[in-house]
Amino acid sequence: MPIKFPFSRRAAPSDAWTKCPSCDAQVFNRQLERSLRVCPSCGHHFRMSVGERIDLLLDANSFEERDAGLEAIDRLGFHDDRPYAHRLEGSRVKTGLRDAVVWGIGAIDGQRVAIGIFDFRFMGGSMGAVVGEKLARCFETALAERIPAIVISASGGARMQEGTLSLMQLAKTTAPLVRLDESGVPFIAVLTDPTTGGVLASFASLGDVVLAEPKALIGFAGARVASDTVGEELPEGFQTAEFLLDHGFVDVVVPRAELRGALSRLLRLLPVPSVADDDRDDLDRAWSPIGALSGLAERVGGAVSESIGIDVDREPSANGNGPTEAVPAATDHEQDRP
């Protein structure tokens, strides 16, 4: 085991610079790290590792990884120029990860979340059985613990080396979202560079709120495929975060420095209703027009209640157990029935 000397100077890395692919500026790696991997001269957002995302988004010491031991196996015996198992091993060595997603429980400004984070460096962030399983468990845990789910995506799509089993991960990751809808647990999707193919065609497009990082490549088919298919030039900014914003598929494009703050605000604005399913009627009632009016009626001492015909005695304040059948409760949740 190498002995680390606390105050020893780090050896200068052989490549201390990174060239920005957008503006060609040479950026010090140390500087890039400090600026959250955003180019200081043009604002280009470099890709981030899982570790950097955790440091960026979650409260210190709050993240607990779950299901760390899941590992892919080669169900197809897939072999292109080398076996799938070798590719996996190569990515594991390169990234220190077991597969392309890490998930766990963390907190953002004290608000607990179930969060899944992609790392593009692991086989292009591609979604195979392990990625699908981890995300499904992430959603199911969010459901069981009634905490919001967040997924930070960076993926080329489904992992071809797992054949149709990887295609089925689209359905495996999407199915739990129906349950989140039914029991009122929000899901926030954050699309980062790149989010394409099968990942965009499943849970990533289905966030209750969809955020994206500036200029991130987001699209269904590869841009080259798209231009080959129609044999024409693609529109300016095709398949960028801003393109999706313009066409109504992304809510907000958030610069990286503001991402944590945006998530924190959203979590506060979209709270998980803290009641069991059976009590949903009461919850609805608190915000139904009559429920609000009955509170008002109490405060003005019955004057209003006479004029609009509410029996104050039969209609206690919002926290009481009034006769639910008398209340035309908001039906939003029932309409969500899939």
Partner 1 sequence: MTERSLAVESAPPTPEAMEAAWRRVQLARHPQRPRTLDLVPLIFEGFFELHGDRAFGDDAAIVGGPAMLDRRPVMVIGHQKGTDTESNIARNFGSPHPEGFRKAQRLMRLADKLGLPVVTFLDTAGAFPGPAAEERGQAEAIASSIKLMTGLQVPIVVIVLGEGGSGGALAIGVGDTVLALENSVYSVISPEGCASILWRSREEARTAAAAMRMTAADQLDLGVVDAIIAEPGEGAHTDHAATARAVKVAILISLQHLSGRGTADLLMTRYARLRGMGAYVETGAGPSRPPEAPSLRRRIGRLLRLPGVPRRPRWSEIWPSNDGDDESERGA
Interaction between residue 153 and partner 1 (CB under 8 A): no
Choose the binding region for partner 1 from 82-90, 275-283, 312-320, 324-332 (rule: CB under 8 A): 82-90
Which residue in 111, 153, 166, 305 binds partner 1 (CB under 8 A)? 166
CB of 320 to partner 1, least distance (A): 32
CB of 261 to partner 1, least distance (A): 19
CA distance 23 to 26: 9
Residues 191-210 that bind partner 1 (CB under 8 A): 196-206
Name the helix (H) or strand (E) containing 129. Answer: helix 129-145
Choose the binding region for partner 1 from 242-250, 272-280, 288-296, 319-327 (rule: CB under 8 A): 242-250
CA distance 5 to 14: 21
Are the C-beta atoms of 127 and 166 separated by less than 8 Å? yes
Nearer to partner 1, 97 or 262 (CB): 97
Query: Encoding tokens for residue 198?
Result: 């099968």
Interaction between residue 245 and partner 1 (CB under 8 A): no
User: Which residues touch 101 (CB under 8 Å, ≥6 apart)?
Assistant: 116, 117, 118, 119, 127, 130, 131, 134, 135
Residues 14-43 that bind partner 1 (CB under 8 A): 15, 18, 29, 37
Nearer to partner 1, 191 or 254 (CB): 191
User: Which residues touch 43 (CB under 8 Å, ≥6 apart)?
Assistant: 214, 255
Nearer to partner 1, 170 or 266 (CB): 170
Interaction between residue 247 and partner 1 (CB under 8 A): yes
User: Which residues touch 203 (CB under 8 Å, ≥6 apart)?
Assistant: 135, 139, 151, 173, 174, 177, 187, 189
Residues 208-237 that bind partner 1 (CB under 8 A): 219-222, 225-227, 229-230, 232, 234-235
Interaction between residue 253 and partner 1 (CB under 8 A): no
Are the C-beta atoms of 226 and 234 separated by less than 8 Å? yes
Interaction between residue 294 and partner 1 (CB under 8 A): no
Beta bridge partners of 217: 240
Interaction between residue 6 and partner 1 (CB under 8 A): yes
Interaction between residue 110 and partner 1 (CB under 8 A): no
Q: Amino acid letter at 151?
A: V
Interaction between residue 136 and partner 1 (CB under 8 A): yes
